Amino acid sequence: MKGAMIAAALAALVLTSQAAARETFRDRLAERRAERTQTERLTAPGDYEFRFRHDGRMRHYLVHVPRSFDPAARSAVVIGLHGGGGHAAHFAKDENYGVISASEKYGFIAVMPNGYSENRRGHFATWNAGACCGDARDQSIDDVGFIAEVMARVKRQAAIDDARVYAMGMSNGGLMAYRLACERPDLVRGIMAVAGTDNTLACNPSRPTPVLHIHAINDTHVLFEGGAGPDAFRDASKVTEFVSVPATIAKWVRLNGAQETPIRTLTVDGAYCDLHAAKAGGAPVQLCVTEAGGHSWPGAAKGRRGKEPPSQAINANDVMWAFFSAL
DSSP track, 79-135: EEEPPTTB-HHHHHSHHHH-HHHHHHHH-PEEEEE--B-SSTT--SBB---SS--HH
> Which pLDDT tens digit goes with each residue over 37-55?
556 899 999 999 999 999 9
Q: In terms of Cα–Cα distance, which of 160, 179, 181, 173 is closest to 214?
A: 173
Q: Choose between 315 and 26: higher pLDDT.
A: 315
Q: Which residues of 209-240 are buried (b: 16+ CB within 10 A; e: fewer)?
A: bbbbbbbbbbbebbbbeeebbeebbeeeebbb
Distances (CA, A) of 98 to 113, 204, 221, 298: 16, 33, 21, 10
> Which pLDDT tens digit goes with each residue over 191-247?
999 999 999 999 999 999 999 999 999 999 999 999 999 998 888 899 999 999 999
Q: How far is the C-alpha of 203 from the C-alpha of 178, rounded, in Å? A: 9
Distances (CA, A) of 49 to 124, 125, 217, 254, 261: 18, 17, 36, 39, 44
Calculate what percentage of the chain has a pLDDT beyond 70: 88
pTM: 0.90
Please check the confidence at residue 182 and state whether its pLDDT lies above 70: yes
Average pLDDT score over the chain: 91
> Which pLDDT tens digit goes with each residue over 285-306?
999 999 999 999 999 999 888 8
Mean pLDDT along residues 182-189: 98
Indicate the domain borders of the chain: 38-325
Sequence-ordered list of residues with C-beta below 8 angstroms from that of 20, at least 6 positions apart, any chain: none
Mean pLDDT along residues 305-318: 95
> Which pLDDT tens digit goes with each residue over 109-147?
999 999 999 999 999 999 999 999 999 999 999 999 999
Determine the pLDDT at residue 95.
97
DSSP track, 169-196: EETHHHHHHHHHHHH-TTT-SEEEEES-
Give me the CATH topology for the region 38-325. Answer: Rossmann fold (3.40.50)
